[in-house]
Amino acid sequence: MRLPHPLTLLVGCVIVAAALSHVLPAGQFERRDDPATQRKVVVAGSYHRVDPHPLGPFDTIVAIPDGIIDAVAVITFIFLVGGAFAVVEKTGALHDGIDWLVRRLGTQGILAIPIVALAFAAGGAFENMQEEIIALIPALLVLTQRLGFDAITAAEMSVGAAAVGSAFSPVNPFQVLIAQKVASVPQLSGATYRIAFLAIALMLWILGTMRRARHTRVAVVEATTNTAAREFGTRGKVVIAVVLLTFTIFVYGVAQLHWDFNQEAALFFAMGCCVGIIGGLGVTGTAEAFAEGFGSMAYAALLVGFARAISVAMEQGLVIDTVVNGLAASLAGLPVAVAAVGMMLAQAAIHVPVPSVSGQAVLTMPVFAPVADLLHMSRQVAVLAYQYGAGMCELLTPTNGGLLAVLAAAGLRYDEWIRAAWRMILLVGFTGAVAVIVAVVIGLS
């Protein structure tokens, strides 16, 4: 069974979101400025009905450009990073470096999977890496082809590993740390517990990726016969060194300087300019490579805007808060362990119309934290339920523009991804549910 084209799927979701404004009662929480997170957060217990605002046909269509405008920082980032890596690719340094790595691995090419997956998982754990992966997909496809693996393997060891790292991270500033702030839970508390389940989840994901890769692998000889090996020279090594230095600065900027997409995009644009000159492309060749990169990223970037339009439609229809309030109320009266898993599933459901993990944290945690108190459940458990529910839904929901953009860059359809990865996603999601139940049993706080 083949799903519709991603644009068709996303437009359909926008229409469904608009239709909900005709079906669900309109309602809102009051919001206040939170100095700890520097965001507007909802006030617990403040939900109230408001005058309905159903979206008409034209309003529904307008939600699409509104979504693109709302996601303009992310879209700009994708264009500039994509252009920068097109420059890197044009220098030939990535191809030469990958050829060198393949020759060094020899018959042990399967070891590239855990190495690459752990690198992306670290990116997910430390800075919620997702859109940044889009520009790296062409290089990953070259690596997997050289080793005889398919595009699904490239997606699993990049966006898949990054999502697992993000969901189970003890330090992700855009997910666990902001959720702990909003829920009035001490920062970095429960880190040891999270690290233990992060190790388990990553092990399961990497082993599953390696298992599938072995079954679908093409002989390395067949995969590399038509590729002429070139020397990985000094110029190529300097280019790769500049790329690695850029990522080092990037991590520091995000972690210590609290950079947003604008600063990150500027950094990678500067990298592309430097690499073009160092790689011998000249000013004109560098500009041409940037232009090619912009063109190749256009579809992937716009998918992010179309996905954002879904939450825009529900916000304009005043039904997002109604959904959150209804799901929170449904947990009242359940046994604590059942309610904890139910909270995780509710967070996964909310992540479909609210694909931003940080946005979901400031929307839901002020509501679910008091629910946890009423159920005599630790607020730390409520944060875990949010982490694992929203985090693993990242790999399933078609409203995640970053995921669809990565798949588009890899030449994969959404239904191909789901058929290949759903068992692993559910297995790791089940691991999260076990972690939530164990946290309830041991009284994690």
Q: Which two tokens stand for residue 371?
A: 């629910």
48-49/39-42 β-pairing: unpaired
| Contact between residue 141 and residue 412 where contact means Cβ atoms under 8 Å apart | no
Q: Which residues are CB-contacts of 429 (< 8 A; sequence separation ≥ 6)?
A: 348, 388, 392
Number of other residues whose CB lies within 10 A of the CB of residue 440? 22
Q: What is the pLDDT of residues 357-398, one digit of tens each?
A: 888 998 999 999 999 998 889 999 999 999 999 999 999 998
> What per-residue confidence (pLDDT) applies to 105?
77
pLDDT at 160: 96
pLDDT tens digits, one per residue of 312-353: 999 999 999 999 999 988 987 789 999 999 999 999 999 998
DSSP string, 48-71: EE-------HHHHHHHHHHHHHHT
Q: Are 21 and 318 in contact (CB under 8 A)?
A: yes
How far apart are the C-alpha atoms of 334 and 341, rounded to whole Å?
10
CA–CA distance, 123 with 415 (Å, rounded to integer): 26
H or E segment to which residue 232 belongs = none
Q: Single out the residue of 415, 401, 396 nearest to residue 300, CA to CA.
A: 401
Q: What is the pLDDT of residue 173?
A: 83
- Taking all residues of the chain, what is their mean pLDDT, rounded to a whole number? 89
SS3 328: helix
Q: What is the pLDDT of residue 230?
A: 59
What three-state secondary structure class fits 359? Answer: helix
Amino acid, single-letter form, for residue 95 = H
The 10s digit of each residue's pLDDT in 404-437 is 999 999 999 999 999 999 999 999 999 999 999 9
- Nearest to residue 103, comparing CAs of 200, 219, 231? 231
Distances (CA, A) of 148 to 66, 109, 220, 230, 314: 42, 9, 5, 19, 44
Measured CA distances, 240 to 77, 94, 105, 232, 272 (Å): 21, 7, 19, 10, 12
| Structural element, H or E, at residue 33 | strand 31-34
Is 70 exceeded by the pLDDT of residue 225? no
Rounded CA-CA distance 382/373 in Å is 10
Q: How many CB atoms lie within 10 A of CB 423?
A: 11
- pLDDT at position 219: 66
Q: Please name the residue that has the structure tokens 């600063």.
A: 263
CB neighbourhood size of 123 (10 A): 24
What does the pLDDT look like over 239-282, one tens digit per residue?
989 988 998 898 788 778 888 889 989 999 999 999 999 999 99
Q: What is the pLDDT of residues 152-191, one digit of tens each?
A: 999 999 999 999 999 999 988 889 988 998 898 998 899 9
Distances in Å between the alpha carbon of 247 and those of 132, 275, 369, 396? Answer: 11, 14, 36, 28
- Which whole-number Å values give the CA distances from 381 to 83, 182, 361, 367, 434, in the listed order? 42, 14, 14, 14, 12
